[in-house]
Amino acid sequence: MADQDLFARVYPFEDKKPLCYAQQAIETSSRYIPAKVAPQLETPKTQWSRGGRESTEPPEPNARRDAENTSDTVSHLELRFSGVPRTSSGLVFGTDPTCDIILPKVSGISKRHFALTFKRKFPDGFPRLIVRDLGSSFGTVVTYNNRGNESRSRFDWIIAGFSIPNDATEIVVQPHPDLKLQVVVARHDISSPVYIGNVAWFCQGAAAAENLVYDLDLQEGPETERNTGAHTPVENRILLSLGRIAKGGFGVVSRHWNVSTAEEYARKKPADRKFDRRAWEREIDIMKTISHEHIVRLCSWDKTPVPTLYLEYMPRGNLEDEHRRARFTPDECVAILNQSLSALVYLHGLPQSVAHRDIKPENILVSHRDAHRNPDYLHVKLSGFGLSKTGSLKTFCGTMTYCPPEIHDDMPQSYTKAVDIWSLGVVILQLAYRLPDPVFGSGMRWC
């Protein structure tokens, strides 16, 4: 059975000889656990497991250690809920003698440098273990598998409770270039009453009623974590890149994770050096003024040096992706139609009406879908506002298959926002009944 009291272990990481600052910090702590057996000269080929995936290959020298079944060959700190910290700021690391873990007095390390504590400010309300810089003079660096290597002061890093930190094989805290500590978090059910109770007890601190001045205003975290809707990006946030989602003629979209808030974004930016800056800035200007439950939310943006949009991440991809995985039922098609129409009614009814002009399966994203294809649990959102426009509409644009006859006509003429309704109708027909191949022609002949 898992040790419910243990929440993490801390190890020296790449400790430089002869300094060994990390080892010094560990050995002088009351939470110090010495190595029980001598290190082996040759790493045994033990079977290691993480997340249900097993490998018979030996771990790398600094590979992830399991907090409950760690090797006894390395001395470390054992962090327990019962080892209540001195204040409600959590376990404080620094050079001051009043800290919970005292670090070597080295230039660049602050008296109260950083803390390991818990934060509850997440949508589900469950607490997660974090590293919090307490306003150190030279900042702290926290890396996840050597990613996110940026120094910050008065900043939070989530190190457990979400898939990104849970799957990281190395989480390293660096308060100084010559002092690195690897934190190995014990796996617990963060929604269990026992865990929640342990966290509450721990966060109170032994001196909660007599907190020192430096504790004030730290429990809620830095101002940078608060998200009040679309805004320009906070300059000092850290986003971990999780890979490319898609690339097209209009741009490249990649997935990113905010280390302080756990929010995931789909970052959209030009794919090449040559791009239509006015079109990109128009998309930003339109999206930052709209808000609807069936339109993808613009979380933040940059206009310089390259226009960049940070959109809410939609884990199930677009209609085409989801339809390929499991065909939409007729009832689901009706739900998609209703939800998309509600978004178009909103856009077309704005004081300065917005025409989307590029409705197609790739621009309708799926937020939720029931495994049993129950339409009541299906939620879609419009995206892809790169061709959107306010005012008069004359330019030919969009995707041929979904364009209405008035845009197909050879003679240039103006058209209205009703083109979006036609395009959406074609999308629904495609999902429900499939469409003729484009080789059969266009316009009425194709219909």
List residues with catalytic annotation.
Answer: 358
Please give the helix or strand (H or E) that residue 253 lies within, else none: strand 252-258
- Edge-to-edge strand order for the sheet containing 252-258? 239-247, 252-258, 264-269, 308-312, 298-302
Helix, strand, or coil here: 423?
helix
β-bridge partners, 354: 390
Residue among 370, 279, 283, 287 at smallest CA distance from 332: 370
Distance (Å, whole) CA 7 – CA 81: 7
366: phi then psi, degrees, rounded to nearest 5:
-105, 120
Distance (Å, whole) CA 279 – CA 40: 62
8 Å CB contact between 321 and 367: no
Distance (Å, whole) CA 173 – CA 181: 5
β-bridge partners, 50: 53
Distance (Å, whole) CA 252 – CA 167: 26
8 Å CB contact between 396 and 404: no
Distance (Å, whole) CA 7 – CA 5: 6
Residue among 179, 67, 188 at smallest CA distance from 127: 188
Q: At what angle do helices 419-433 and 330-348 cross, to 10 degrees?
A: 170
Residue among 146, 143, 117 at smallest CA distance from 129: 117
